[in-house]
Amino acid sequence: MHERQKHILTGVQLPTSAILGAGFSRCANLPTQKEFSDYLLSDELSVTPLQKSITQVIKHFLRDVFSWRERPPMPSLEDYFTCIDISANSGHHLGIQYTPKKLRAIRRMTIHRIFQILDRKYNRSDAIDTFLSNLLRTNSPGFVVTNWDIVLERGLQYQDASNRIDYGFECFNWRSKQRKTSSADDITVAKLHGSSNWVYCENCSTIFYDLDEKLALHKMIGLIKADFRLFAEEFNNQNFDDPIGDEPESRKCPLCGNMLATHIATFSFRKSYRTFAYPAIWHNAQTTLSKSSQWIFVGYSLPDADFEFKHLLKTAELAFRRRRDAETLNITVVLKDDEAAESRFRAFFGERVHEVIQGGLQEFVM
């Protein structure tokens, strides 16, 4: 480990924030966003009749809207979801076949498929273990996460620190049904786009979390019988309920009995942050960053599509510089052979970028 990296990860008295992107989760063998399209129509994720139906719905949508014919290239997920979101949220058709109701159904099915992809290949990572172990020795580390997966939560579990996770808003433990209480020892984990281990009640606005599993996937949250019947009439009660496995009651809000939904912001240029939790999460992220003298970006490429997050970063940077007790803000960027991303960071933060590591997290913690 370089001397500067030793200073960042060991013995630092000022707060450190880690900003984690898809490259961080890649260390645990999860696919990057660019690789998602390789698995979107995968046979191994299309085993049950329900899963096969999801595959067919996505395939037909790609053919009808993007003139895709089962060969590369496939449209990016940003284009895919943005077309859905703009039409569905404004109440307009996307072509004659796809009503807003159908588009919302396709969105829910595609989100479920992405949760399947995120669940398929997780492996524990020595580099992540070392990174978190060193970071937890610093003074009040915080995490700002752009991913839906629970790689960070798993890593904190291995460090015996998962009970200290604070998502930054009022939420309830799914197993105990108890409200999460805050403590001085909490670790801020601001998941800007939601998480696969959260489920949301659209009636009473309650969010439940489970640190042990991808709750939305394993409880089949977000899959609705009426959605499937829009595309396949054979999905009667038995054909839908049998593949789901759980009784419908197990997918209802424990507080009010309403059916639960997922709580994520899609890969879209028109992300929706309507629910109460997102303003709290983003405010928590900005506060955490503006109090930290060390920012470590891991596996995040600062894409143009994330203009709202880039604004948050710039606001936090400038707020930190206005603090009377402010030290120099040092930014370290950990990438994997991504010169274009390095250029974006240097253009956006200038001399605040202290060091760029192009060999990935493994090189950074060695």
In the chain, where the domains are located: 3-30+124-193+273-365, 33-120+206-264
Mean pLDDT of 150-177: 93
Pairing type for strands 165-166 and 187-191 reads: parallel
Q: Could you tell me if 17 and 139 are in contact, meaning their C-beta atoms sit under 8 angstroms apart?
A: no
> Nearest to residue 117, comparing CAs of 222, 10, 228, 41?
41
What SS3 state is found at 298? strand
pLDDT classification of 38: cutoffs 50, 70, 90: confident
Q: What is the pLDDT of residues 95-114, one digit of tens each?
A: 999 999 999 999 999 999 99
pLDDT score recorded for residue 276: 67
- The pLDDT score that the predictor gives to residue 78 is 86
Mean pLDDT of 144-160: 94
Q: What is the DSSP letter of 30?
A: P
pLDDT at 271 over 80: no
- Predicted TM-score of the model (pTM): 0.88
Secondary structure class of 5 (helix, strand, coil): helix
The helix/strand count (H/E) of the chain reads as 15, 11
What percentage of the chain exceeds 90 in pLDDT?
Answer: 54
Answer whether the bond into residue 141 is a cis peptide, omega within 30°.
no
Confidence (pLDDT) at 304: 85
How much is the pLDDT for 4? 47
User: What's domain 3-30+124-193+273-365's architecture?
Assistant: 3-Layer(aba) Sandwich (3.40)
Checking if the pLDDT of 245 tops 60, the result is no
Instruction: Inform me whether the pLDDT recorded for 292 exceeds 80.
Output: yes
The values of phi and psi at residue 320, to 5°, are -60, -40
The pLDDT of residue 149 is 92
Instruction: Give the residue-averaged pLDDT of 37-54.
Output: 88
- The whole-chain average pLDDT of the chain stands at 86
**pLDDT value at 190 more than 50:** yes
CA–CA gap between residue 333 and residue 75 (Å, rounded): 29
Confidence of residue 12 (pLDDT cuts 50, 70, 90): very low
Least confident of 32-46, 183-197, 240-254, 304-318: 240-254
Structure tokens at 281: 């999460």
> Residue 232: pLDDT above 80?
no
- Token couple for 286: 């900005």
Condensed to tens digits (0 to 9), the pLDDT of residues 204-218 reads 999 999 988 888 888
Question: Could you give the CA distance from residue 103 to residue 141 in angstroms, rounded to a whole number?
Answer: 40
**Average pLDDT for residues 8-31, to the nearest whole number?**
81
Q: What is the pLDDT of residue 191?
A: 95
Strands 16-20 and 294-298: parallel
Query: ∠211-111-234 over CA atoms, to 5°?
Result: 115
